A and B are shown apart, each in its own frame.
Chain A
Amino acid sequence: MNITQEWNDILDKVKTWARVNSPWLIHYNSGSCNGCDIEILATLTPRYDAERLGVKLQGSPRHADVLVCTGPVTMQSRDRLQRIYDQMPDPKFVVAVGSCAISGGAFQGCYNVIGHIDEVIPVDAYIPGCPPRPEAIIDGLVKLLTAIKTGAPIQTEKPEELLDVV
């Protein structure tokens, strides 16, 4: 009994360690202005080189652990965002990058904008800025990974189903 307990503990530690050290991202732009997107791309380039933290940008949602969202959610991209989220294997995390992903930013109130990311899918880390500097994006990612490591509670409930706007 005790041995299996210990064994499980070790296994859990290894799992968490691997998870924290190998965050593979997938990026979806649900209506952003590109500003945040190019800064996310910049974090992968030599100056910031996120690969040294284990970050890899993946093309297929099936391979990714962290969904990085930018921009407010527009009507047309809402379903797509949901679908990408559903396609990702568990455990999965979501990071909202930029003010408009968190609150709608400058676009709040525009008619084709449904709202922010956490009205559609649950978000685990928020990175404000318009756009945040690549350093700030890395900082946000590190905060997410720290939360995963320490097991701090991250939001996991689904937001209430949206009213169908149309």
Chain B
Amino acid sequence: MMLEMTQKEEKFIIPIGPQHPALKEPGHFEFAVDGELVTDATVRLGYVHRGIEKGAEARNWNQNLYLVERICGICSHIHAFTYARGVERLAEVEVPPRAQAIRVLVAELERIHSHMLWFGVAAHEAGFDTLFMFSWRDRETIMDILEGLTGNRVNYSANVLGGVKFDVTDEHRKTILEAVDFMEKRTKHYLNVVTTDAMFLQRTRGIGVANLQQAHRLGILGPTARASGVKRDVRVDAPYSAYKQFPIKMVVETAGDLEARFVVRLKELFESYRLIREILNNMPEGDLQVKRFPRRIKPGEVISRVEAPRGEVFYYIRSNGGEMPERLKVRTPTMMNMASVLAMAVGHQLADMPMLLVGIDPCFSCNDRGVAICNSKGDHDQWTWERLRQHGIDFYAEKV
């Protein structure tokens, strides 16, 4: 033990984060390097931990819709969707089919914006700024649609408990279809770029490989897993909401390297485009919301799973019959994928680290829970889960 400690201290540690240009969010990674080669990697999370799960117990069912939406600004709709779906099942309320279709429509638009965002950031990490600029330029067409449709570019607040807030008019339908055509053309181009550009492939092909066994063992989710050949997609495995009516095909690649992750995400976009067209052309008629959604929800518990752009989002919701949830538990995909970065990092060049990191499309805001991963000295002011929980309990006890 002692021996290991002293060895560790002699290593040259390169920290990435919490404030670092490669990370738009504060995560903290430490890579032990030998020259340029990474020999060890650790992560420290928790900079963005806000205590949402505990906070949710002090807010009513309506307020929580917006709180969970702000777990993350990139897949905000997915969180509200998952939560609303759970609460509606708990309250045994049937959401009108048109509302379901609109929810899925927004979810797919969000997937496009999220994948394009990731694509640009990944290109930026690779030092290919032109690709970053062009992909973000094209992403703006989707942002325009989302803003025109929902009224905000990021936290759309499309949902209310029991339905959605707005309708899709004919005019929207037209602009969305046009934008989707444009995006499809561009996506084809980008797919061509990432699979043929020799310079780019040098940074992606064969880098950060996670094979099928590793993917299973590490419990990777979402496109990252599908790039390693894991056939796992909630939209296909357990269709929910309007996905029952509008099924989606799963995109799987087997190489498991960074290139495969690019290919899976870009190919998924084509499925999204197809689905959006299908929904718009076969939009069910009917109401947008149920007449009255109960303010108190009868006791019970429910789980709700939805496929976010980065993988499965999982909610557990328990009610004790009051105006507020008794427990809300969120499990997000990046949390599950984080371990894979650390496993893949060892043996790669330091210069590959940002690429490896973005390979899983990480975003910390949803996975910042009090995970304690101690460094060699153990002198960080770390908040363990237990300490946080105790603090949370004390905090609210004091308030009452």
Contacts and interface: CB of A to CB of B under 8 A. Distances in A.
Interface residues of B, number: 50
B189 to A, nearest CB: 16
Contact of A34 (B18, B132, B147, B363): B363
B222 interface: no
A-side interface size class:
35 or more
Interface stretch (B64-72, B83-91, B250-258): B64-72
B133 interface: yes
Nearest to A58: B21
Contacts of B26: 28-30, 77, 80
B154 A38 contact: yes
B153 A112 contact: no
Contact of B70 (A33, A38, A84): A33
A111 B54 contact: yes
Q: Give chain A's interface secondary structure class.
A: mixed
B46 A76 contact: yes
A143 interface: no
Nearest to B54: A111
Nearest to B48: A31
Nearest to B113: A38
A131 interface: yes
B58 A109 contact: yes
Given A29-B24, A34-B73, A46-B133, A80 B47 contact: yes
A61 interface: yes
B128 interface: no
Contacts of A29: 24-26, 47-48
Contact of A76 (B155, B383, B399): B383
Contact of B72 (A34, A72, A106): A34
Contacts of B21: 57-59
Interface in A25-71: 26-39, 41-42, 45-47, 57-59, 61, 71
A33 B58 contact: no
Interface in A96-112: 100, 105-107, 109-112
B144 to A, nearest CB: 9
B206 interface: no
B47 A74 contact: yes
Interface in B20-67: 20-21, 24-26, 46-52, 54-55, 58, 66-67
A113 B67 CA distance: 14
7 contacts: A30-B26, A33-B72, A46-B134, A77-B48, A80-B26, A109-B58, A110-B51
